[in-house]
Amino acid sequence: MIKPHGSDKLHPLYVQDKASRTELLEEAKTLPSITVSSSAAANAVMLGCGYFNPLSGFMDKQDALFIADTMKTASGLFWPIPVLNLVPENSIPGDCKIISLRDPNVDGNPILAVQEIKSIETFSEVELSHVTEKVFGTTDASHPGVAAFNSQGNSIISGPLKVLDFSYFEKDFPETFRTAYQLRDSISEAGWKKVVAFQTRNPMHRAHEELCRMAFESLDADGILIHMLLGKLKPGDIPADVRDSSIRIMAEKYFPAGTIKIAGYGFDMMYAGPREAVLHAVFRQNSGCSHLIVGRDHAGVGDYYGPFEAQEIFRKQVPEEALEIKIFEADHTAWSKKLNKVVMMRDHPDHTKEDWLFLSGTRVREMLSKGEPLPEEFSRPEVAEILMKYYQS
C-alpha cells in the first residue's frame, strides 16, 4: 500500500486506548479551557484521524508564513495549507502550559482535545492578509473560506495535540465517518493496491458517477473510495445526511459489488480551490489511496478560480517528489445527445453546444422544489427522488 505522507507509518493523534483516554479526559477537566472555532475543531479531528499525518499538532506562525509562501514548513515538510488554532487575542489565561480544547459544534461544548502550548503568537494585520491571499488567492470577504478564516482571531496557539473525541461526526454518521487508519485497514483487508479517490461535497449526479467509472477503468484500479465531506459548508449547500443517502443508493444500484467504498471525513470546507485540492491529495494518500480525481473547479467557489487551476497547481507548484499519490485529471463531463452517454467534453471537439445536456444548479433546485423529475441523463431516478424530498421539505 502507498506510504503515508511524510512518514513510513501513520501517526494519528487520537488516544486510542480507552483507559488512557478516560484518564486524560478527567485530567483535562481540571485544566484551563477554551472553546475553539469550528475550523480548529475540524483540524483537531483531522489530526486525530491521521488524515494530517505526519503533523503532531497545531502549527506556529513561522510554519504558517513558510507554507503560505513555499508550501513547505520551516523544517522542509511539504504542506499546502497551514493547520492552525486561531483565537482572539488574550483568550488564554497567563502562564498556561497545557489547555483543553472545547468543541463549538456540540451542545455543552465537551472537551475535544488537550493541547500543549509551545507558543502563543500574533499575526499582524499585514501577515494575516498575506496568508489569506496565498492560501485562498484572494482577500475578498465575500469568499466563504476567507470570511471563515479571518473571523477566528489573530492569535496562534501552537503545540502538540492529544485528541479525545471526534466531535459530532462519529455520532451523527456512524456508518460513514471513518478515520484514515480505518480506511487503510479496510483497503488492506480488501487486497486493493490501486485505489482512486473521489472527493465530494455534493450529491452525485450521472456525470460524477461516470467520472468515477472512467477513472476506475482508465487506471485499471482495484477500487474506488467515494470520500465525502461531513463538516460545515456554506449556506445553500446540501446537508451531509442527504448527500450520504443519495450516494449510497447510487453506489448500491449502479456499481459492481466489491468495487466501491463510501466514507466521510470530519472537516469544514475551505473553498480554497487549488491549495485545498493539494490538501485533499495529502489526506487521501494518508488514507491509502494511490490516485485522486481532480476535476473542473475542484474545491472552488464562485468565480475565484479558473476551471482547471486545481490541476495546474500539481504540475507547476507541487514538486514531483513531494507526494506519492497521483492525480487523475478530469475534464468537465456531460451527457452527449449524439452518443447517448456521459463523456468528457475534451474528448469530443466535434460536439456543438446543442449536442450536450446541461442543467444549471439553479434550474436543478427549481425543478426539484417543484416536484419535477430530473432527466435520467442527468440524475439517477433514485438519487433525484431523495433530493426532491429534501427540497420539497
CB under 8 Å to 152, separation ≥6 — which residues? 37, 39, 40, 86, 87, 88
Give the pLDDT mean for 44-67. Answer: 98
Q: Is 315 a catalytic residue?
A: no
Q: What is the pLDDT of residue 365?
A: 79
Give the pLDDT mean for 80-86. Answer: 98
Residue 280 above 80 pLDDT?
yes
Catalytic residue among 178, 184, 201, 284: 201
Q: What is the pLDDT of residue 375?
A: 87
**How does DSSP classify residue 339?**
T
What is the topology classification, in CATH, of domain 171-265+271-392? Rossmann fold (3.40.50)
Residue 367 above 90 pLDDT?
no
Residue 389 above 70 pLDDT?
yes
Residue-wise pLDDT for 285-342, tens only, equals 999 999 999 998 899 999 999 999 999 999 999 999 999 999 999 988 888 999 999 8
Q: What is the pLDDT of residue 392?
A: 86
Residue-wise pLDDT for 144-166, tens only, equals 999 999 999 999 999 999 999 99
Q: What is the pLDDT of residue 119?
A: 95
Separation between Cα atoms, residue 102 and residue 280, nearest integer Å: 26
Given a contact cutoff of 8 angstroms between Cβ atoms, the answer to whether 85 and 102 are in contact is no
Q: What is the pLDDT of residue 203?
A: 85
CA 60 distance to own-chain centroid:
22
CATH of domain 18-167: 3.10.400.10
Residue 361 above 70 pLDDT?
no
CATH 3.40.50.620 domain span(s) along the chain: 171-265+271-392
3-state helix, strand, coil in the chain (%, to 5): 35, 20, 45
Q: What is the pLDDT of residue 334?
A: 86
Q: What is the pLDDT of residue 370?
A: 87
Give the pLDDT mean for 115-142. Answer: 97
CATH 3.10.400.10 domain span(s) along the chain: 18-167
Residue-wise pLDDT for 206-263, tens only, equals 889 999 999 999 999 999 999 999 998 877 778 889 999 999 999 999 999 999 999 9
Q: Is 275 a catalytic residue?
A: no
For residue 54, whether the previous peptide bond is cis, meaning omega lies within 30 degrees of 0, is: yes
Q: Of 107-111, 205-209, 264-268, which gets the smallest average pLDDT?
A: 205-209
Residue 359 above 90 pLDDT?
no
Which residues does residue 228 pair with via DSSP β-bridges, in sequence order?
Answer: 200, 264
Q: What is the pLDDT of residue 238?
A: 84
Q: What is the pLDDT of residue 120?
A: 94
Q: What percent of the chain has pLDDT over 70?
A: 99
Closest by CA position to 387, among listed 202, 177, 253: 202
Q: What is the pLDDT of residue 360?
A: 67
Catalytic residue among 202, 213, 248, 365: 202
The secondary structure element, H or E, covering residue 88 is none
